[in-house]
Amino acid sequence: MTNKEKSAELVSKYVHVFNCPLCNSPMEVVDLKSLVCLNNHTFDFAKQGYVNLMTRSTNSHYDKKLFEARHKIITESDLYGLLHERISEVINENIEASNNESMIFDAGCGEGSHLNMILDKCKNDAMIGLGLDISKEGILMAAKNYRKLIWFVGDLAKSPLVDQSCQVILNILSPANYKGFKSILAPDGLIVKVVPRPNYLKELREALYDDKGKNSYKNDDTVSLFKHHFHLVDILNISYTEELTQTKLINLVQMSPLAWNTKKEHIDHFTNQGLFNITVDLDILVGVNKQMKGGRG
């Protein structure tokens, strides 16, 4: 069986949770080759095992080199290890361990490593991982590396998921679409959004910008917007430093949009320092649909 056919077979088991992004009608997998809706809109499985559901062309600065660097940082260092551990704990505490299948949706998943690492730590075979990103390069890499998960190229504004289909929504250092999230989140579902705090990657920002205070993160507005749409159950702060080698520093720079408009000499000076401590400073926002706030202890 090819990767394409294996992916199509996996999607066929859960095809009831998908809607056509063009007309919102139900879909089915046909001949282990395509997702087809009732109005015959057809989306083919790529040979790598993902489906491109984009209804318009997009231009993205996020290229193959960036996603390769991101994959290496996430999988070959412990820079985000504590983040994955905390999120998996939150999921396990809130999603009952049972035979009931739970859809874990990573909205803006990039190359898929965050979702895969979190599911590995959850250790629950009933959890089904689904990742969506607007970047084809990211999803292509995700499909190649993590073949037991479901991957789509798609737009959060035209979600392919039916209402109340997801038990968990992850939104990790990525833009949100709260209207869409509220629709697809199950009544007893959980949303976990990760946002940067002021010291997140401060060493990288200070090295790549002359104005040291120019790009400090403030997430007050993000938290306020989150609370407007969801009942905020908890905010977990994680703050620590992780030592990176020169190779990992180079990957960190390559994965960051902060480097796009930075002079090469600034980048070289930063990456030539050998071992270097990098600060991770993040808030994990944990929420539920507002109508459920009286139903949880």
pLDDT of residue 126: 93
In whole numbers, what is the pLDDT of the chain averaged over residues? 90
Q: 180: pLDDT confidence band, cut at 50, 70 and 90?
A: very high
The span from the CA of 155 to the CA of 132, in Å, is 8
Task: Give the percent of the chain with pLDDT over 70.
Answer: 93
Count Cα neighbours of 139 within 13 Å in the Cβ-side half-sphere.
25
Q: 294: pLDDT confidence band, cut at 50, 70 and 90?
A: very low
Angstrom CA distances, 275 to 243, 251, 278, stand at: 6, 13, 10
Q: What is the tens place of the pLDDT at every residue in 3-26? A: 999 999 999 999 999 999 999 999
pLDDT of residue 99: 58
pLDDT of residue 296: 41
Contact 290, 230 (CB under 8 A): yes
Whether the pLDDT of residue 38 is over 80: the answer is yes
Q: What is the tens place of the pLDDT at every residue in 117-168? A: 999 999 999 999 999 999 999 999 999 999 999 999 999 988 899 999 999 9
Question: What pTM was estimated for this model as a whole?
Answer: 0.93
Q: What average pLDDT score do residues 78-102 get?
A: 89
Q: 67: pLDDT confidence band, cut at 50, 70 and 90?
A: very high
The span from the CA of 67 to the CA of 159, in Å, is 23
Q: What is the tens place of the pLDDT at every residue in 259-284? A: 777 777 778 888 888 778 999 999 99
The closest of 77, 49, 277, 219 to 151, measured between CA atoms, is 49
Whether the pLDDT of residue 115 is over 70: the answer is yes
Q: What is the tens place of the pLDDT at every residue in 198-240? A: 999 999 888 877 555 555 677 788 999 999 999 999 999 999 9
pLDDT of residue 295: 42
Contact 47, 35 (CB under 8 A): no
Q: 248: pLDDT confidence band, cut at 50, 70 and 90?
A: very high
pLDDT of residue 260: 75
The span from the CA of 49 to the CA of 171, in Å, is 23
Q: What average pLDDT score do residues 169-194 get?
A: 95
For domain 50-193+218-239+280-292, the question of CATH label 3.40.50.150 is answered with yes
Q: What average pLDDT score do residues 67-73 get?
A: 96
Q: Where is pLDDT greater, at 54 or 216?
A: 54
Beta strand pairing status for 230-244 and 166-172? unpaired
Q: What average pLDDT score do residues 40-60 get?
A: 90
Q: What is the DSSP string of the chain?
A: --HHHHHHHHHHHTGGGBB-TTT--BEEEETTTEEEETT--EEEBPTTS-EE--SS----S--HHHHHHHHHHHHHSSTTHHHHHHHHHHHHHHS--SSS-EEEEEET-TTSHHHHHHHHHHT-TTEEEEEEES-HHHHHHHHHH-TTSEEEE--GGG--BPTT-EEEEEEESS---HHHHHHHEEEEEEEEEEEE-TTTTHHHHHHH-SSTTTT----HHHHHHHHHHEEEEEEEEEEEEEEE-HHHHHHHHHH-GGGTTS-HHHHHHHHTT-SEEEEEEEEEEEEEEGGGTTS--
For the chain, what are the domain ranges? 1-47, 50-193+218-239+280-292
Beta strand pairing status for 127-133 and 102-107? parallel
Residues 6 or more apart in contact with residue 102 via CB below 8 angstroms: 95, 124, 126, 127, 128, 167, 168
Task: Give the percent of the chain with pLDDT over 90.
Answer: 75
pLDDT of residue 297: 35
